[in-house]
Structure 1
Amino acid sequence: MSPKDPSAFYLAQPEPNQSCFLALRQLLLNFHHEISECTKYGMPCFCLRQKAWCYLWHDKKTQQPYLLLVDGQQLNHPLLERGNRARMKIFNINPTEDLPVDSLAQILNEALAVRNR
Structure 2
Amino acid sequence: MQLRPIDDFFEQQTEPNKSCLLSLRALLLKQDPFITEEWKYKLPSYYFKGKMLCYLWIHKKFNINGVPQPYIGIVDGNKLEDADLVTEKRVRMKILLIDPTDDIPVERIEMLIKNLVLLRG
Structure 1 length as normaliser, TM-score?
0.92
Root mean square deviation, CA, Å:
1.3
Aligned equivalent of 1:20: 20
Count of matched residue positions in the alignment of Structure 1 and Structure 2:
115
Structure 1 distance, partners of 2:93, 2:6, is 21
Q: Are 1:74 and 2:74 an aligned pair?
A: no
Structure 1 distance, partners of 2:109, 2:82, is 10
Higher strand share: 2
Identify the structure with bigger relative contact order (alpha carbons < 8 Å, sequence gap 6+): 2
Aligned equivalent of 2:51: 51
SS in 1 for 2:25: helix
Structure 2 distance, partners of 1:27, 1:102, is 10
User: How far did 1:27 drift?
Assistant: 0.3
Aligned equivalent of 2:69: 64
Structure 2 letter corresponding to 1:104: I
Structure 2 distance, partners of 1:114, 1:50, is 14
| Residue of structure 2 aligned with 1:97, choices 94, 102, 115 | 102
CA deviation map 1:9-57 (0-9, x unaligned): 1001000000000000000010000011011111100011122110000
CA deviation map 1:46-77 (0-9, x unaligned): 01112211000011133210000111111112
Structure 2 letter corresponding to 1:81: V
Identity %: 39
Runs of 4+ in 1 over 2 A off after TM superposition: none
Segments of 5+ residues of structure 2 without an aligned counterpart are none
